[in-house]
Structure 1
Amino acid sequence: MKTIILAGGKSSRMGENKALMIIAGKRLIDRMIEEFTPVSEKVFVIANDELSRINDGAIILEDFEPYKGEGPLAGILTGLTAAKEGACFVVACDMPFASSKLVKQLEQKLTDKKLDAVVPVADGQIHPLFAVYNARIQDQVIATLKEGKRAVKSLLDRIDVEYIEMGKSLEFWNMNTKEDYVEAKKIIEGNETH
């Protein structure tokens, strides 16, 4: 399985690049690469900016034209294209509590049932940016983007997806504001110093 970390977002609410924010002495992007490298053949980081100085274990890619800047769907397309085949775990870089523990379970289901995607549902919300996709769906991603649709949900509507109920979990929590960042730091740094 390959991992695709989406780190190219505009971070408009945060006001700075979330991937480069420091928690417990490490940039968020480096924490994520370290977390998912042990369960991945390759780790791709999809970024459109200053992520050149990055953990050596990852391959940094920019969205390709004509989809540059078209949001997470374009990032997913870039990652799936690089992966070429097989299961790909897609995760957004603003999920500070994302862990590799669930990934194998999602991958197993994708492989066993020959699905296009397996997407967790937690607390009534679907999490397409913490999900496993089969790289073969590249054409469907392109078709979705060509229709001018940028929501990942639009892609899910046209592929064979299984949704898995996970219950409420910090794993799926997004860090969108400075307040979220302070909260994440408090939880992680509190846990790591004990």
Structure 2
Amino acid sequence: MDATGLVLAGGASSRFGADKALAAWGEGTLVSAACAALLEVLPRVLIAAKPGQVRPVQGPRVSLVWDLRELRHPLSGLEAGLSACPTPWAFALACDMPFAGAGLVRRLAAERGGVQAVAARCGGRAQPLGAFYSREILPALSKHLEAQGSATAFLAGIRTRTVEVSTAGREFFDLDDRASYREALAWKR
């Protein structure tokens, strides 16, 4: 597939109480699980993080890129990842969405023609942190970040195709705090 995986791992994790990218998940961490899921279908993964954050994921197909801005914004990692992306497209995935995987990537990849982004729509809401983005959006993304606009507003401002996914699945369950982490661990068992 002509796309690169992009794991967004530079969040503050303030509600979680620690760097959630490094929280235990299976045999590794949330960030390593996100990388493994994307590597099932994509040839390469970039991890976008804030300078100084340590990412213990290594391998010939995984690289680390630093966010280009001090701003704590989910799209900061997208900007850094797309700037370093060697392919025309990247699939951006937040590291705290451990149930999103290869099936979602395949489904959205098939919808990339004629648009700048493809995002899942779940429960009536577009999901910007589990979506494909074309590298051509970089100028618009940088401008949007300067204005500190929301991720959802950014999707609405570019040519985006949304694909409805079932709310019954857990693909977009994100681990914002310790309670959601415990809930996800219980589901995983």
Q: TM over 0.5: same fold?
A: yes
3-state SS of paired residue (2:40): helix
Asked whether the equivalents of residues 97 and 173 of structure 1 are also in contact (C-alpha less than 8 Å), the reply is yes
Superposed, 1:45-194 pairs within 5 Å as 45-48=47-50, 49-56=52-59, 57-64=61-68, 67-110=69-112, 113-146=113-146, 148-168=147-167, 169-188=169-188, 190=189
- Compute the TM-score of the two structures, normalised by the length of structure 1: 0.89
Please tell me whether the aligned partners of residues 90 and 132 of structure 1 are also in contact (alpha carbons under 8 angstroms): yes
Give me the whole-angstrom Cα distance separating, in 1, the residues matched to 2:27 and 2:5: 23
Q: Secondary structure at the match of 1:101?
A: helix
Alignment partner, residue 9 of structure 1? 11
Q: Structure 2 length normalisation: TM-score?
A: 0.91
CA distance in 1, matches of 2:172, 2:39: 19
Among all aligned residue pairs of Structure 1 and Structure 2, give the percentage whose two residues are the same amino acid: 27
Secondary structure of residue in 2 paired with 1:157: helix
The equivalent of 1:31 in structure 2 is 33
Offset at residue 74 of structure 1 (A): 1.3
Deviations along 1:32-80, one digit per CA (max 9) or x if unpaired, are 111111211210000114324223231111112xx23341111111111
Q: How many residues are treated as equivalent by the alignment?
A: 184
Displaced runs of 4 or more, over 2 A: 49-53, 67-70
Rounded to whole Å, the distance in 2 between the matches of 1:85 and 1:154 is 25
What's the CA shift string for 1:69-100, capped at 9, x where partnerless? 34111111111111154121000000011111
Q: Contact 2:4 / 2:87 at 8 angstroms: preserved in 1?
A: no
- Structure 2: runs of 5+ lacking an equivalent: none
Counterpart residue type for residue 67 of structure 2: D
Report the secondary structure of 1:144's partner residue.
Answer: helix
